[in-house]
């Protein structure tokens, strides 16, 4: 259930509603928009004294939510959806501007990550990404990252990417594998956790990330249905956490040419129908082919993504992991420019988007007349 406050509701009125709900035994979450505030109510809604809540000062209406994923679900009217912005450091994701998060698959050395950060900054991207511990499905797959051997090596690897990010004014996004490592990442000074595809259903890790103040990018598992994925995202948010970002990075399919199949339809569904959270697209993993990252990224932006994740390396031909999908510096610069132009176009064309729910009200009233007009024998 959502409690929609009036546009002129005061902070005291919002606080009074929250206090009332807490007194009734409900947990709440708050989404503050530019015009209105929504208060999410979580618990057994069947016993909620609806009349009492509706009569509280500042309340406009109560809105039921039918989705199993309450916190991650789209909020607001079909023609006026409410989207949530999530800051990574000083960079706002899901706001007015497109955000590009770029960097190598993994941190390989101090010189490598410093040069990568410089290239990312020069290309116009806003955040630096890079793994310190890499998930590998086989012990023979090769490079597992600078931080894979022990806690001290993990700390040294994290220190390198944080140093590089700060040197060039880039907030850092780093993948985490182990729930026990959360404090180490926080103490190192990273700006955002990334949950990779292999850990998209890691219950212990997702539960642990509920309590961190840092934002979380949750990558969709390659076998997860669109709404099943949102339920795993919901797991992070159930304790009241709101700063979570969705990420489409490709699903398993019949195709063998690309590494995965980038699910553009789900990107659109996340943004336009199912969720109010910011949506990222990762065409590096979605295609696994360097030359396809550019067009697939632009397609993802047009479908609804407001964040781009992309792998780039000072020289992908000598990268220790996933070099085949990492962009050359020249390709990164070109992609960032094209992505921003695509974003401008998408924002303009979005004004022409018409949700079916808005049109259906009129057409429902015309159904009988149209049957007689169109099907009359």
State how far the Cα of 82 lies from the Cα of 76, in Å rounded to an integer: 5
Q: For residue 367, give the H/E element and its range.
A: helix 367-375
The pLDDT, as a whole number, for residue 79 is 80
The pLDDT, as a whole number, for residue 45 is 75
Ranges of residues in the chain with a pLDDT under 70 are: 33-34, 66, 377
Largest CA distance in the chain: 81
Q: What CATH code is assigned to 2-64?
A: 3.30.70.1140
| Burial class of 61 by CB neighbour count within 10 A (0 to 12, 13 to 18, 19+) | exposed
A 10 A CB-CB count for 42 gives 17
Total residues belonging to the chain: 377
Asked if 74 and 274 count as a contact pair (C-beta separation under 8 A), the reply is yes
| 88-351 homologous superfamily | Aldolase class I (3.20.20.70)
Do the strands 307-311 and 216-219 form a parallel or antiparallel pair, or are they unpaired? unpaired
Q: How far is CA 186 from the centre of its chain?
A: 20
Domain residue spans of the chain: 2-64, 88-351
3-state secondary structure of 186: helix
State how far the Cα of 65 lies from the Cα of 4, in Å rounded to an integer: 12
Phi then psi for residue 163, to 5 deg, are -60, -45
DSSP at 73: B
pTM: 0.85
In a 13 Å sphere around the CA of 76, the CA atoms on its Cβ side amount to 22
The pLDDT, as a whole number, for residue 77 is 77
The pLDDT, as a whole number, for residue 41 is 86
State how far the Cα of 144 lies from the Cα of 356, in Å rounded to an integer: 48
């Amino acid at each position: 259930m959502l409690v929609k406050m009036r546009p002129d509701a005061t902070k005291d009125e919002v606080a009074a509603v929250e206090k009332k709900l807490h007194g009734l035994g409900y947990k709440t979450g708050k989404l503050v928009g530019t015009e209105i505030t929504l208060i999410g109510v979580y618990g057994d809604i069947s016993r909620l004294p609806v009349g009492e809540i509706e009569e509280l000062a500042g309340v406009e209406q109560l809105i039921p939510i039918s989705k199993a994923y309450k916190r991650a679900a789209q909020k607001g009217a079909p023609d006026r959806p409410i989207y949530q912005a999530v800051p990574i450091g000083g960079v706002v994701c899901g706001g007015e501007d497109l955000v590009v998060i770029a960097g190598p698959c993994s941190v390989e050395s101090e010189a490598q990550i410093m040069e990568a950060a410089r290239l990312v900054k020069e290309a116009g991207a806003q955040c630096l990404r890079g793994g310190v511990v890499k998930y590998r499905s086989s012990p023979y797959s090769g490079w597992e990252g600078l931080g894979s051997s022990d806690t001290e090596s993990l700390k040294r690897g994290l220190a390198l990417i944080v140093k590089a990010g700060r040197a060039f004014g880039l907030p850092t996004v780093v993948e985490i594998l182990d729930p026990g490592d959360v404090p180490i990442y926080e103490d190192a000074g990273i700006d955002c956790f990334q949950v990779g595809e292999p850990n998209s259903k890691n219950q212990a890790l997702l539960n642990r990330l509920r309590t961190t103040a840092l934002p979380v990018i949750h990558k969709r598992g390659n076998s997860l249905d669109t709404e099943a994925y949102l339920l795993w995202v919901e797991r992070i948010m159930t304790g009241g956490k709101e700063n979570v970002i969705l990420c489409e990075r490709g699903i398993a399919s019949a195709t063998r040419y690309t590494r995965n199949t980038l699910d553009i339809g789900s990107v659109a569904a996340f943004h336009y129908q199912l969720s109010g959270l910011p949506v990222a697209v990762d065409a590096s993993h979605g295609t696994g082919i360097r030359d396809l990252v550019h067009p697939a990224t632009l397609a993802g932006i047009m479908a609804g993504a407001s964040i781009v994740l992309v792998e780039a390396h000072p020289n992908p031909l000598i990268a220790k992991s996933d070099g085949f999908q990492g962009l050359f510096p020249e390709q990164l610069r070109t992609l960032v420019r094209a992505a921003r132009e695509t974003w401008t176009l998408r924002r303009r064309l979005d004004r022409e988007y018409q949700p079916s729910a808005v049109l259906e009200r009129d057409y429902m009233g015309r159904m009988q007349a149209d049957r007689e007009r169109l099907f009359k024998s």
